[in-house]
């Protein structure tokens, strides 16, 4: 698949229309105009308001009946939704159906891995299928709209919402964004198994200072166009129905009041045709931000900037009429905002089918195919980071000790943002491994938690855990962090294994038995202190409903670990931010000349001669690189071969490389294409991901992998967002991670 970087920048080409069988874009616009003509000003203003479902039922019904609400969030009971839609259509002044929203982030009832785990699959088709399964479950109960995908680039694992993100890389984020939008929306928003997607959080929310949620972001224009905006442009190009503003202020302007983001970029440059919803109370939060004196002024800023619907708070709806009467907002502005909302409601087919069918039930049944997809996603998200001595896969007939606070923690296995997941549905690693023991795949699987939960500091369970370890051939330790430790407003300054997990691992290591660490977490954790204590590390993220069987199959070798890291793992918090696409310095790090802090003689002369960019105590290298992940087999890749060594504007380049499985087992390799522009008018990253292919190779099998790039793929934005394709030399790199690759040289002539 060819992705052209050129379209990501300041293009003014028309965006994809909303996909719908209800009518063409022109027909829907005509219906919007007809509806607007028949609505009073008060009925129009009501469409701008989204109310939360936790309000008293009578209050919600009264607001719907009076036409003071256009959307509800967090109402899931189908019978109640049918009644509310009946009131909206039959009793409200405008007769406009409601759009019902819910945070369906990585599943509805059937929960897939957290989005960061889905990113680790490097399998957009699988991600799309899981989102389609979630959409079918969601729409079946009468909910039409999810607040996903979250496509904030996240390069600080202290930030709790890194769990919801696609990771650190804009290219990978774009591919996953396209897959998620397609999965949720399909080719027809009006279909009974599709829902409207919402690209969030617009924009640069992942750049919050210090990884502290809701915090200020200072992002130069160059970085904004290059890193944080491209995934959102991809969402528009794929017809995403809605956008959500971010909580943060961007360079001093809260995103819910940013005319630059919402009007100049989203509407004028990108020609977005859906509607924009604020995040929860983010409009009124412009008051504590310090840009609005009160809620009224905040509402005015949001209206002028381009917020179409306000979530939870009423500052826009309460004051809109007075703004028009005072001449602060032209009357046609109201029609613009309401028209954007009506366009999405029409595309969803809400006027033809506003409520769920009489047979709808909450929670919906889980389809076998949905469970299969969730298990496949969990399996493909697992990243093998260490495997000394080939301790994995487990030999047949192994006696295993299943230890750790997350071996049998179903609610935590679901991860953050899994409101409709049910703990009783979850198959945990303990359950799956005990079933393997009963079936004879393992000789036995004895479970002893050792710690009651991830933050438990008590040593009371150590003795029983050590006894189980002494009786086993292999210790499987399931550690990490509870689901509550990641997600919104759950940032962490220290990323080590919490509680007494490190102490318990040290005690297990002292038994002399092989120890396999399986990490369930919502973010990259600092593993350096425990790596010497374990023989293998399998990173499982929070893997969702079917995580247990997926983990068990990979541990036993029934499946090959095929996940790869979508984000760089630091060796210590002090390295953050650390990511593959960084700029070089004038004195880049050279490991051959680095002196560790312990190697510096006492009384050494202070000098800057020969110094380079690094930490005295950690150097420059991360713990694990972006794109890394081991397999149960071995791979070799050749030099990249280029179809031409000189590429002109408008031309295409084919890059081919042969990958060979040199081991004795089948396994997946993720072939990754990067490039570097070493001399440009604006300094460029040391590596930029430009393509990837996930392929399965049998023992001894070789396969040639092809990537096709356009000359414009090597363009980059300037601070104004306009694309630049410059003459010069490009280094093409193909391999298996941001560290492991081979290169060839290309000359660009625009």
**Catalytic residue positions?**
279
User: Do 152 and 596 touch, CB atoms closer than 8 A?
Assistant: no
Q: Which residues contact 473 (CB under 8 A, 6 or more apart)?
A: 395, 398, 399, 400, 443, 513, 514
CB atoms within 10 A of CB 673: 22
Q: Which residues contact 558 (CB under 8 A, 6 or more apart)?
A: none
Q: Please give the Cα distance from 525 to 479 (Å, whole number).
A: 11
Longest CA span, the chain: 85
DSSP β-ladder status, 667-676 and 688-697:
antiparallel
Q: Please give the Cα distance from 651 to 2 (Å, whole number).
A: 13
User: Do 659 and 697 touch, CB atoms closer than 8 A?
Assistant: yes
User: Do 427 and 549 touch, CB atoms closer than 8 A?
Assistant: yes
Going across the sheet that includes 474-480, the strands are 383-387, 536-539, 515-520, 474-480, 399-403, 444-448
Q: Please give the Cα distance from 412 to 429 (Å, whole number).
A: 12
Q: Please give the Cα distance from 353 to 474 (Å, whole number).
A: 56
Q: Please give the Cα distance from 371 to 376 (Å, whole number).
A: 9
Tell me the backbone φ, ψ of residue 705, rounded to 5 degrees. -105, 130
CA distances from 628 to 152, 248, 361, 384, 518 (A): 21, 31, 43, 9, 17
Q: Please give the Cα distance from 461 to 508 (Å, whole number).
A: 12
Q: Please give the Cα distance from 492 to 512 (Å, whole number).
A: 33
Q: Which residues pair with 672 in a beta bridge?
A: 692, 735
CB atoms within 10 A of CB 228: 23
**Rg of the chain, C-alpha, whole Å:** 27
């Amino acid at each position: 698949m060819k992705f052209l970087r050129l379209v990501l920048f300041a293009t003014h080409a028309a965006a994809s229309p909303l996909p719908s069988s209800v009518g063409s874009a022109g027909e829907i616009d005509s219906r919007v105009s007809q509806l607007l003509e028949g609505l009073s000003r008060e009925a129009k203003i009501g469409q701008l308001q989204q109310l939360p479902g936790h309000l008293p039922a009578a209050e919600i019904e009264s607001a719907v009946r009076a036409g003071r609400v256009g959307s509800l969030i967090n109402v899931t009971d189908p019978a109640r939704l049918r009644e509310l839609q009946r009131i909206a259509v039959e009793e409200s002044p405008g007769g406009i159906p409601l759009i019902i929203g819910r945070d369906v982030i990585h599943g509805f009832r059937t929960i897939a891995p957290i989005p960061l785990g889905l990113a680790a699959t490097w399998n957009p088709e699988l991600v799309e299928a899981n989102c389609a399964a979630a959409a079918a479950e969601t729409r079946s109960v009468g909910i039409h709209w999810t607040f996903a995908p979250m496509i904030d680039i996240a390069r600080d694992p202290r930030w709790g919402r890194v769990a919801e993100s696609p990771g650190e890389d804009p290219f990978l984020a774009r591919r996953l964004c396209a897959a998620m939008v397609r999965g949720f929306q399909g080719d027809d928003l009006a279909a009974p198994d599709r829902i409207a997607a919402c690209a969030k959080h617009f924009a640069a929310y992942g750049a919050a200072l210090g990884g502290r949620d809701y915090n200020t972001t200072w992002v130069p224009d160059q970085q904004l166009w290059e890193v944080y905006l491209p995934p959102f442009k991809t969402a528009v190009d794929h017809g995403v129905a809605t956008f959500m503003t971010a909580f943060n202020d961007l360079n001093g302007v809260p995103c819910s009041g940013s005319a630059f983001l919402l009007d100049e970029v989203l509407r004028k440059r990108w020609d977005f045709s859906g509607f924009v919803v604020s995040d929860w109370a983010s409009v009124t939060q412009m008051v504590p931000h310090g840009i609005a004196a009160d809620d009224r002024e905040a509402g005015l800023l949001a209206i002028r900037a381009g917020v179409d619907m306000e979530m939870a708070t009423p500052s826009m709806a309460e004051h809109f009429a007075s703004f028009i009467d005072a001449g602060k907002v032209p009357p046609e502005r109201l029609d613009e905002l309401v028209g954007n909302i009506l366009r999405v409601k029409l595309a969803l087919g809400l006027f033809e089918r506003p409520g769920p069918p009489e047979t709808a039930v909450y929670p919906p049944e889980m389809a076998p195919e949905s469970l299969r997809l969730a298990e496949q996603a969990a399996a493909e998200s697992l990243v093998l980071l260490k495997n000394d001595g080939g301790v994995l896969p487990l030999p047949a007939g192994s006696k295993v000790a299943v230890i750790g606070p997350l071996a049998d923690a179903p609610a935590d296995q679901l991860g953050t943002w899994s409101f409709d997941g049910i703990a009783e549905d979850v198959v945990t690693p303990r359950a799956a491994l005990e079933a393997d023991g009963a079936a004879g795949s393992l000789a036995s699987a004895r479970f002893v938690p050792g710690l009651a939960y991830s933050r438990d500091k008590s040593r009371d369970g150590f003795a029983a855990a050590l006894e189980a370890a002494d009786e086993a051939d292999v210790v499987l330790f399931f550690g990490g962090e509870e689901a509550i430790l990641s997600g919104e407003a759950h940032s962490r300054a220290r990323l080590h294994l919490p509680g007494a997990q490190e102490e318990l691992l040290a005690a297990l290591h002292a038994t002399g038995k092989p120890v396999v660490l399986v990490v369930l977490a919502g973010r990259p954790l600092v593993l350096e202190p425990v790596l010497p204590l374990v023989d293998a590390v399998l990173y499982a993220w929070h893997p969702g409903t079917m995580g247990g069987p997926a983990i068990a199959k990979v541990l036993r070798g029934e499946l090959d670990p095929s996940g790869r890291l979508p984000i760089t793992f630091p060796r210590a918090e002090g390295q953050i931010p650390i990511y593959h696409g960084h700029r070089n310095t004038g004195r880049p790090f050279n490991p051959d000349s680095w002196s560790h802090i312990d190697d510096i003689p006492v009384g050494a002369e202070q000098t800057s001669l020969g110094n380079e960019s690094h930490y005295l105590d950690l150097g420059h290298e991360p713990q694990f690189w972006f794109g890394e992940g081991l397999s149960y087999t071995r791979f070799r890749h050749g030099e990249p071969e280029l179809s031409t060594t000189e590429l002109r504007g408008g031309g295409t380049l084919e890059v081919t490389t042969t990958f060979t499985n040199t081991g004795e087992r089948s396994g997946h390799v993720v072939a990754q294409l990067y490039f570097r522009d070493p001399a440009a008018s604006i300094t460029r990253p040391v590596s930029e991901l430009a393509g990837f292919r996930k392929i399965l190779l049998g023992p001894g099998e070789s396969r040639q992998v092809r990537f096709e790039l356009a000359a414009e793929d090597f363009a980059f934005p300037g601070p104004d967002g306009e694309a630049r394709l410059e003459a010069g030399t490009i280094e093409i790199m193909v391999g298996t991670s941001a560290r492991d690759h081979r290169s060839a040289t290309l000359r660009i002539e625009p």
